[in-house]
C-alpha cells in the first residue's frame, strides 16, 4: 500500500489546529482544534469528514503533549490513527526558522536543536512547536516529520527591507534582522489571489493582509516576498489581538527606567496584554464590533487605532511595490470582518482602491473580489489554508526523498 496521507499539526501558544489529508486528491479526512491548552476549560473539537461526525470534549488539557495524545486518540476512534500504514509523514508548522531554514526540512536532532535555540525570538510559538514535534516523533519514530517554517517565504526580502538601521556588526553577532512570520499563509494567499485574477503569480504584485490573532502584512512582487511587517519576532508591525505591534523603542526604556518595570514584565505587557486587548479589554473582533454597535467609545478607539495602522501599511507597501494588482484580506479577521475591510480601504480611492459594500457584505468560504467592477486595483478576500499548504510542501518533500 502506498502511503498517501499527511497529518498536519499547527501548534500555537495555547492551541493546536490539525488536519489529516489524503494527498492523492488533497481531500481532508479529519480536522480539529484543541483550544485553551493549560487552562481548566480546554476544548477539543474533532470532525471526521467521511462520517460527518463531530465530537467535542471540554476539561483540562495540561500541555501540548497531552493535547497531541488526545488528538491521536480521536483519530484512532475514526480508524485514522497514527499507527496507520497509509500515513506518509507528519508536517509541523514551525514559527521561527531563523536564517537557515529557507525550505521545508525533514526533522532530525540537529533541526530540533536549532528550533530550540530560536526560542528567545519566538517565545510564544517555538516551544509549542517543539513539544508537538517531540510527541509526534515518540508516537511514530519511523515516520518522516517535516518542519514548514513561517519565516521561509520571507527569506527573499532584500537587505534594505530585512535589516534594521543599527550597527551591522552588532546585528550580525546577535542575528538581529527582520525575519517575518505567517509566511506559509502569505505564500498561499498571494498565489490564490493571482489565481482569482486569472493570472500567473509571477505576473502580479499583491499586498497580503493576514489578520488573525497575530497579524501581519506583506508585499509580494511577482510571487516573491519583498517586505513584511513582522520583524525579529512576531511583535513588530500591525496592531494585533494582544500584541502592540510597532512602537517607539524608547517606550521600553521609559517603562524600565521611569515605570520601574522589569524586562520580563515589559515583554508580557507588549506581547500578551497590549493590542486590541490592552486598548479595550477584548481581543476578539466580533466582540469589539458588538460593543461599537452599542456605542462603546473605548472599543471604537481600539478599532480606529487598529485600522489606522493597517492603512499605513497598505500605503507603505503600495510605495514599496510601485504598482499593485491586488490587496488580499485573509485569516480570522480578514476573512470575516467586513467592517475592517471597509474601514481599511476607505479613502484610498486615489490609489485605485475601493470596496463595493454589497460584495463586501457577502459571507462565503471561497476566494472572491470585493472591489467594484472595473477597479484599477482588486480588493479580495482569500481564505488562507496554512494546513493544506504545509501538507503540500511536506508531501512534496517526502515524495522527493523516497
Ligand atoms: N465572524 C467574525 N467576525 C469578526 N472577527 C472574527 C470572526 N470570526 C473570527 N474572527 C476573528 O478571528 C480571530 C482569530 O483568527 P485566526 O486566523 O483563527 O487566528 P489565529 O490563527 O492567530 O488563532 C479571532 O480573534 C476573531 O477576532
Ligand atoms: C507568528 C504568529 O503571530 O502566529 P499566530 O498568528 O498563529 O500567533
Ligand atoms: Mg494563525
The CATH architecture to which 199-386 belongs is 2-Layer Sandwich (3.30)
Query: How far away, in angstroms, is 262 Cα from ligand 1 center?
Result: 31
Tens-of-pLDDT digits for all 402 residues of the chain? 689 999 999 988 788 999 999 999 999 999 999 998 988 999 999 999 989 999 999 999 999 999 999 999 999 999 999 999 999 999 999 999 998 899 999 999 999 999 999 999 998 899 999 999 999 999 999 999 999 999 999 999 999 999 999 999 999 999 999 999 999 999 999 999 999 999 999 999 999 999 999 999 999 999 999 999 999 999 999 999 999 999 999 999 999 999 999 999 999 999 999 999 999 999 999 999 999 999 999 999 999 999 999 999 999 999 999 999 999 999 999 999 999 999 999 999 999 999 999 999 999 999 999 999 999 999 999 999 999 999 999 999 997 655
**What is the rounded distance in angstroms from the CA atom of residue 8 to the CA atom of residue 81?**
13
Position 221 scores a pLDDT of 98
Residue to mutate (ligand 2; options 14, 125, 236, 384; most atoms within 8 A of CB): 125
Cell of 3: 502511503
Question: Where do the domains of the chain lie?
Answer: 5-149, 199-386
Buried/exposed code over 22-38 (b: 16+ C-beta within 10 A; e: otherwise)? bbeeeebbbbbbbbebe
End-to-end CA, the chain: 14
Considering the candidates 78, 150, 282, 385, report the single residue annotated as catalytic: 150
Position 159 scores a pLDDT of 98
What residue numbers does the annotated binding site for ATP cover? 17, 210-214, 284-286, 332-336
CA-wise closest residue to 390 among 118, 104, 122, 194: 104
Task: Quickly name the fold that domain 5-149 has.
Answer: Nucleotidyltransferase; domain 5 (3.30.420)
Q: Do domains 5-149 and 199-386 have the same CATH topology?
A: yes
Cell of 229: 511587517
14: exposed, middle or buried (Cβ count in 10 Å: 0-12, 13-18, 19+) = middle
Query: How far away, in angstroms, is 211 Cα from ligand 1 center?
Result: 8
CA distances from 87 to 2, 84, 145, 146, 249 (A): 9, 6, 11, 13, 47
Ligand 1 atom nearest 286 alpha carbon: 4
Interface confidence, given as ipTM, is: 0.98
Q: Tell me, what DSSP letter sits at residue 225? A: E
| Atom 3 of ligand 2, residue of closest alpha carbon | 214
86: Cβ contacts below 8 Å, ≥ 6 apart: 1, 3, 4, 5
Position 138 scores a pLDDT of 94
Whole-structure pTM value: 0.96
Q: Specify the residue for cell string 472591489.
A: 371
Position 399 scores a pLDDT of 77
Position 100 scores a pLDDT of 86
Ligand 1 atom nearest 211 alpha carbon: 17
Q: Which H or E run includes 319?
A: helix 297-321
155: Cβ contacts below 8 Å, ≥ 6 apart: 99, 102
CA-wise closest residue to 367 among 149, 165, 143, 206: 206
Residues 240, 363, 386, CA angle at the centre, nearest 5°?
Answer: 50
Amino acid at each position: 500500500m502506498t502511503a498517501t496521507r499527511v497529518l498536519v499539526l499547527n501548534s500555537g501558544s495555547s492551541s493546536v489546529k490539525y488536519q489529516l489529508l489524503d494527498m492523492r486528491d488533497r481531500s481532508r479526512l479529519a480536522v480539529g482544534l484543541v483550544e485553551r491548552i493549560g487552562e481548566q476549560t480546554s476544548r477539543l473539537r474533532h470532525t471526521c469528514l467521511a462520517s460527518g461526525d463531530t465530537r467535542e470534549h471540554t476539561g483540562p488539557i495540561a500541555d501540548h503533549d497531552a493535547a497531541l495524545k488526545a488528538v491521536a486518540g480521536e483519530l484512532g476512534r475514526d480508524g485514522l490513527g497514527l499507527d496507520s500504514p497509509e500515513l506518509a509523514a507528519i508536517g509541523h508548522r514551525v514559527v521561527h526558522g531563523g536564517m537557515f531554514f529557507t525550505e521545508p526540512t525533514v526533522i532530525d536532532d540537529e533541526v530540533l536543536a536549532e528550533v530550540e535555540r530560536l526560542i528567545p525570538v519566538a517565545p510564544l510559538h517555538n516551544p509549542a512547536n517543539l513539544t508537538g514535534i517531540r510527541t509526534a516523533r515518540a508516537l511514530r519514530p519511523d515516520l518522516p516529520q517535516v518542519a514548514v517554517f513561517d519565516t521561509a517565504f520571507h527569506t527573499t526580502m532584500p537587505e534594505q527591507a530585512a535589516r534594521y538601521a543599527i550597527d551591522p556588526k552588532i546585528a550580525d553577532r546577535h542575528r538581529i534582522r527582520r525575519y517575518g512570520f505567517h509566511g506559509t499563509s502569505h505564500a498561499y494567499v498571494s498565489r490564490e489571489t493571482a489565481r482569482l485574477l486569472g493570472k500567473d503569480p509571477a505576473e502580479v504584485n499583491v499586498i497580503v493582509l493576514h489578520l488573525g490573532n497575530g497579524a501581519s502584512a506583506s508585499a509580494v512582487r511577482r510571487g516573491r516576498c519583498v517586505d513584511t511587517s513582522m520583524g525579529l519576532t512576531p511583535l513588530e508591525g500591525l496592531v494585533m489581538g494582544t500584541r502592540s505591534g510597532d512602537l517607539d523603542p524608547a517606550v521600553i526604556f521609559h517603562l524600565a527606567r521611569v515605570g520601574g518595570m522589569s524586562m520580563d514584565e515589559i515583554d508580557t505587557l507588549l506581547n500578551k496584554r497590549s493590542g486590541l486587548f490592552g486598548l479595550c479589554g477584548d481581543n476578539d473582533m466580533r466582540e469589539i464590533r458588538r460593543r461599537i454597535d452599542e456605542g462603546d467609545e473605548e472599543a471604537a478607539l481600539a478599532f480606529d487605532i487598529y485600522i489606522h495602522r493597517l492603512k499605513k501599511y497598505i500605503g507603505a507597501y503600495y510605495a514599496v511595490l510601485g504598482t499593485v494588482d491586488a490587496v488580499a484580506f485573509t485569516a480570522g479577521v480578514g476573512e470575516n470582518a467586513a467592517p475592517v475591510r471597509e474601514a481599511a480601504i476607505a479613502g484610498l480611492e486615489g490609489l485605485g482602491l475601493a470596496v463595493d459594500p454589497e460584495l463586501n457584505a457577502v459571507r462565503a468560504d471561497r476566494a472572491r473580489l470585493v472591489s467594484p467592477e472595473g477597479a484599477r486595483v482588486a480588493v479580495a478576500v482569500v481564505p488562507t489554508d496554512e494546513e493544506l499548504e504545509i501538507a503540500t510542501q511536506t508531501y512534496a518533500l517526502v515524495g522527493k526523498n523516497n
